[in-house]
Structure 1
Amino acid sequence: MAADPKVHAFEEVAKHNKTKDCWLIISGKVYDVTPFMDDHPGGDEVLLSATGKDATNDFEDVGHSDSAREMMDKYYIGEIDMATVPLKRSYIPPQQAQYNPEKTSEFVIKILQFLVPLLILGLAFGVRHYTKEK
């Protein structure tokens, strides 16, 4: 580890949230895990989901081995400025399609155009099948 570690602001670290550029905050330290993305046993999605927040709990909950903890040294790039870390990750609700009553009628018409002929064919087949002389 560096003798005089660089101190990173949370906003700076949070920008590194892609497969080709991934930084994590664990126990007050910043790690550039980009070279480890392909080798992580849990896959790169696990690492990407830990970006943009303090990932200490995520890391500890998994129960990493001593060798995994030792491996972290080679990815260490500095400390996090704890004063810049939000107390709680803000919740961003997923984008949902807005209900548009004007489009609903178009959709219903398309569905009916598809289903009505099938219904008529089914009824015709049923009537024909049950009215045949045996």
Structure 2
Amino acid sequence: MSNNKVFTLAEIAQHNKSNDCWLLIRGKVYNVTKFLNDHPGGDDVLLSSTGKDATDDFDDVGHSSSAEAMLEEFYVGDIDTSTISSNVNNNASPNQPHYNQDKTPQFIINLLQFLIPLFILGLAFAVRFYTKSA
């Protein structure tokens, strides 16, 4: 008989904050709280994978073998598979923050919202200056 601790999905989903973050990957539960600040993709990537089976999220990135091995130091137990619905991979926890993988478009929008009015103001001054001097 295994001595591994077994958790329900509801128990795992409660660990969804930056000071307490657990992930479910391939049926195993990992407490990655201490790794949040060191994660190359940022802590929001990990936090967005809480409360669900994060296997697809983990595999889609194409982690290295050293990243795979690193998981073992964060292992805390296994999932009670009877608590996982068949569509859990697609359902995020309601408390789970949305992760926007590509922040560039929002940055560009914010930049344009600042620069366009500034450009229009500069254009207005240029037109006014040009019409007064002509």
Q: Taking structure 1 as the reference length, what is the TM-score of the superposition? A: 0.64
User: What SS does structure 1 have at the residue aligned with 2:52?
Assistant: coil
What is the distance in 2 between the residues matched to 1:14 and 1:86? 14
Runs of 4+ in 1 over 2 A off after TM superposition: 86-92
* Deviation for aligned residue 1:86: 2.5
Q: Which residue of 1 aligns with 2:14?
A: 15
CA distance in 2, matches of 1:49, 1:42: 12
Paired position in structure 2 for 1:120: none
How much has 1:4 moved relative to structure 2? Answer: 1.5
- Give the distance between the partners of 2:73 and 2:27, measured in 1 at CA: 16
Q: Which runs of 5+ in 1 are unaligned?
A: 93-134
Give the number of aligned pairs: 96
CA distance in 1, matches of 2:14, 2:75: 17
SS of match in other structure, 1:74:
helix
Identity of aligned residues (%): 56
SS where residue 47 of structure 1 aligns? helix
Counterpart code for 2:46: L
Match of 1:31 in 2: 30
Aligned twin of 1:49? 48
Give the 5 Å matches for 1:81-92: 81-89=80-88, 90=91
Task: Report the AA paired with residue 52 of structure 1.
Answer: G
Hey, what does 1:60 align to over in structure 2?
Answer: 59
1:88 positional shift: 2.2
Which whole-Å CA distance do the structure 2 matches of 1:4 and 1:36 have between them? 25
Between the aligned partners of 2:9 and 2:26, the Cα distance in structure 1 is 13
Q: Could you say which residue in structure 2 is the equivalent of 1:103? A: none
* Range moving further from structure 2, 40-49 or 78-87: 78-87
In structure 2, C-alpha distance between the alignment counterparts of 1:8 and 1:68, rounded to whole Å: 23
Tell me by how many angstroms 1:46 deviates. 0.1
Pairwise CA distance, 1:45: 0.2
CA RMSD in angstroms, aligned pairs only: 2.3
Q: Which amino acid aligns with 2:11?
A: E
Unpaired stretches in structure 2, ≥5 consecutive residues: 95-134
The answer for the alignment partner of 1:79 in structure 2 is 78
Partner amino acid, structure 1, of 2:80: D
- What are the Cα deviations for residues 87-116 of structure 1, in whole angstroms up to 9, with x where unaligned? 224576xxxxxxxxxxxxxxxxxxxxxxxx
